[in-house]
Amino acid sequence: MPRTPAEPARLLADPPGGRLRTAGRLALGAALAFAGTGHLTFAREEFQAQVPGWVPADDDAVVLGSGVVEIALGAALALAPRRYRAAGGWVAAAFFVAVFPGNVSQYLTRTDAFGLDSDAKRAARLPFQAGLVAWALWSTGAWRAWRDARRAR
């Protein structure tokens, strides 16, 4: 669809399939797949430190299950056809929200893992989860799709 000079803000913005957005989506997908692989292999014990004590399941089972989910999300973000990307972004954002209590638990229980060996380091990490949510929604075009759907009403 050709753009007109009357849309200067749109010209500066990254289009739905733009390079920056695509690179962000692929990078997030790769990061999720890498983290998921870590859940299943080399960082399994470190991830177990983040499972809150109130979760009614074996810590290892939670880590393995979340690892499988992360690998699947990473693959979906990288490979899903355009029409499913926004939905994938919402699912990834929901996943980041769902695992946030583990980060809070690690802070509250003062559990060392991933080099987070002080309260200051564990607290400093907490806001980054919001960044992951925003990254998932932006890089998949989920925010844009939601905004466009609202305007169409």
Q: What is the pLDDT of residues 63-107, one digit of tens each?
A: 999 999 999 999 999 999 999 999 999 999 999 999 999 999 999
Model pTM score: 0.86
Longest dimension (CA), the chain: 59
Query: For position 16, what pLDDT does the model report?
Result: 59
Residue 3 pLDDT: 52
Question: Residues 136, 28: contact at Cβ < 8 Å?
Answer: yes
Q: What are the two backbone dihedrals, phi and then psi, of residue 46, each rounded to the nearest 5 degrees?
A: -60, -45
Q: Is 7 helix (H, G, I), strand (E, B) or coil?
A: coil
Expressed in percent and rounded to 5, the helix, strand and coil fractions of the chain are 70, 0, 25
Q: How far apart are CA 69 and CA 2, in angstroms?
A: 39
Domain ranges in the chain are 19-152
């972004």: which residue's tokens? 89
Other Cβ atoms less than 10 A from the Cβ of 8: the count is 10
